[in-house]
Amino acid sequence: MIQEKRDGGLSYFTAASLEGEKNIRHLFTSRRGGVSKGHLASLNLGFSLGDDRENVVENYRRVCAVLGVGIDSIVPAKQVHKDAVRVVTIKDTGKFPPEPSRPDCDALITRDKGVTLAAFYADCSTALFYDPVRRVIAAAHAGWRGTALAVYRKTVYKMRTDFLCSPGDILVAFSPSIGPCCFETDSDVPEALVGAFAEKAAAFIEKRGNKYHVDLTGINKMLLMDAGVSGENITVSGHCTGCETDLFWSHRKTGGKRGVSGAFIAMV
């Protein structure tokens, strides 16, 4: 489980495993502690959701103050519900804000200090990765489409091929995301997941009447372990964005009228 922290009016979450790493800064935001108004109140990190740009920038400033990083160090994933994993460097920083043309991918990896990787969620899963031996970090996003494409497993594979990471060394922490309690779907989602992973995914899908309840966290943890990550090195959030709408953004529970949260990680 990740733990709630408060600092400067901000409510955010951290994983004890990553917090124990002195060279790492990381956090998962909630919807509390920002300056956005109305249905975006208050910590919205999306520039394209109808918010005032100044409010979004101030929200980022507050997050960066807690992280102890500069706002221009942020390199955000574009998040297109696919499985591209990109390596970024210090040359990709300095473009934020305003929101730059983001790398067209759902997962980012770097070994450069001074780069703050960001992924975003409002029901979808995001995950932060750190290899303390090779000193490589990653941030990735997976909704059900990205899960079916095994984007987290592919992130581990790229850390291994490009940076010689041993999967057994990698620490992973999941953001809050929609739980099986609230992630009710038609048959398209289970068909995609079972089509991709057969019975390994079926164990995380429950049929209730004509609908299905899907445990995306369970499937993503299984995929990480499939890639060689140790179960004890994976921290799940223990929070459902659909159940805790006062604390987190939920796309489903708000009908899409919502802000977005961020998962951030940087090496210092």
CA angle 86, 91, 94 (to 5 degrees): 110
Contact 109, 138 (CB under 8 A): yes
Tell the smallest beta-carbon distance from residue 151 to Zn ion (Å). 22
Q: Which listed range, 102-110, 186-194, 235-243, 258-266, lies at the site for Zn ion (CB under 5 A)?
A: 235-243
Residue 243 near Zn ion by CB under 5 A: yes
CB atoms within 10 A of CB 101: 7
Residue window 169-208: x/- pattern of binding to Zn ion, with contact defined by CB under 5 A: ----------x-xx--------------------------
Q: Which of 240, 263, 265, 266 binds Zn ion (CB under 5 A)?
A: 240
* 3-state SS, residue 200: helix
Residues 60-99, interacting with Zn ion (CB under 5 A) = none
Tell the smallest beta-carbon distance from residue 115 to Zn ion (Å). 33
Distance in angstroms between the alpha carbons of the first and the last residue of the chain: 24
Q: Which listed range, 111-119, 144-152, 166-174, 234-242, lies at the site for Zn ion (CB under 5 A)?
A: 234-242
Q: Which is nearer to Zn ion, 69 or 240 (CB)?
A: 240
Q: Which is nearer to Zn ion, 220 or 233 (CB)?
A: 220
Q: Which is nearer to Zn ion, 171 or 240 (CB)?
A: 240
The answer for residues whose C-beta is within 8 angstroms of residue 186's C-beta and 6 or more apart is 210, 211, 212
Tell the smallest beta-carbon distance from residue 121 to Zn ion (Å). 14
Q: Which is nearer to Zn ion, 40 or 240 (CB)?
A: 240
Q: Which residue has the tokens 């200090």?
A: 113
Which H/E stretch holds residue 157?
helix 151-163
Q: Which of 242, 251, 260, 262 binds Zn ion (CB under 5 A)?
A: 242
Separation between Cα atoms, residue 162 and residue 69, nearest integer Å: 26
CA angle 143, 37, 43 (to 5 degrees): 45
Q: Which residues bind Zn ion (CB under 5 A)?
A: 179, 181-182, 240, 242-243
